[in-house]
Amino acid sequence: MSAQSPVPRPLTDHPDRQFALRQYERRSSVYDAELAWFEPLRIAAIDALLLQPGCRVIDVGCGTGLSFAPLMERLGNEGGIVGIEQCPQMLDLARERIRRYGWHGIELIEAPVEQARLTELADAALFHFTHDILRSTAAIENVLGHLQPGARVVATGLQWASPWAWPVNLFVWSAALHSVSTLEGLDHPWSLLARYLPDLRVRPTWLGGVSMATGVWPGA
Ligand SMILES: C[S@@+](CC[C@H](N)C(=O)[O-])C[C@H]1O[C@@H](n2cnc3c(N)ncnc32)[C@H](O)[C@@H]1O
């Protein structure tokens, strides 16, 4: 195994930024095709944000910008997206997507979410398949600290199903191995978010192997 190889790896009990950077550097060229199966879930997550034209949304760990088109459809020309992404190769594809569609109003921040310099308050935040980020209190606090009180927050991603649903967990495990840097918290990926969003509701889907958590940021 080369020092660069993303799998197999030690299972750390916290997100490993360097590992995640290498993981997505390698995966960037095939990422959009791999995510095709999950597109209905993306639309459900974006619908759950209840966006209005003119809103401003933080797309946390925006990757290649797969959420931009459905977000822009709902936000219109007056709205805005702030995409935060630490992996340069993923972000290059997001930039290319913006150029191709000629969108205005999308700001990209190349940084770990924990350190992203957000300047304006947003009306909503989307964490779509961002397990590493959801397991970082500093990242969550940076995003929530830049939301308007009453902002909606939606977090989707892999989650361990019930132990008896072992085929589902086999899928979760194999998908997690090449998409997250830690399995910590995979039983309740949204648990850190729940500390800040008292009304957080969690809906399991995909036979319990994926969850969608929806809540409202009450303000500091
Ligand atoms: C599974 S992808 C999801 C991308 C996008 N949200 C989507 O729905 O397609 C996870 C993304 O989170 C990014 N990421 C992981 N940890 C991060 C961190 N601490 N700060 C910023 N981006 C991070 C990865 O580089 C990767 O692009």
CATH number of the domain within which 144 lies: 3.40.50.150
Containing domain of residue 63, as a range?
17-216
**Considering the domain boundaries, does residue 126 fall inside one?**
yes
Q: Find out whether the beta carbon of 86 lies less than 6 Å from any atom of ligand 1.
A: yes
Mutate to test the pocket of ligand 1, among 19, 87, 184 (most ligand atoms within 8 A of CB): 87
**Considering the domain boundaries, does residue 86 fall inside one?**
yes
Give the count of domains, the chain: 1
Q: Find out whether the beta carbon of 177 lies less than 6 Å from any atom of ligand 1.
A: no
Q: Is the pLDDT reported for residue 28 higher than 50?
A: yes
Please answer whether residues 46 and 62 qualify as being in contact, where contact means their C-beta atoms are separated by less than 8 angstroms.
no
Q: What is the structure's pLDDT at 9? A: 58
Distance CA 140, CA 128 (A): 13
- Dist. CA 85 → ligand 1 center (Å): 6
**Considering the domain boundaries, does residue 7 fall inside one?**
no
- Model confidence at 220, pLDDT cuts 50, 70, 90, reads confident
**Considering the domain boundaries, does residue 155 fall inside one?**
yes
For range 164-180, the mean pLDDT: 94
Q: What is the pLDDT of residues 11-22, one digit of tens each?
A: 678 899 999 999
The candidate with the shortest Cα–Cα distance to 112, out of 98, 132, 89, 92, is 132
Q: Find out whether the beta carbon of 179 lies less than 6 Å from any atom of ligand 1.
A: yes
Distance CA 45, CA 37 (A): 14
Distance CA 19, CA 178 (A): 10
Q: Which two tokens stand for residue 90?
A: 């993923």
**Considering the domain boundaries, does residue 11 fall inside one?**
no
Q: Is the pLDDT reported for residue 140 higher than 70?
A: yes
Segment among 122-126, 151-155, 175-179 with least mean pLDDT: 175-179
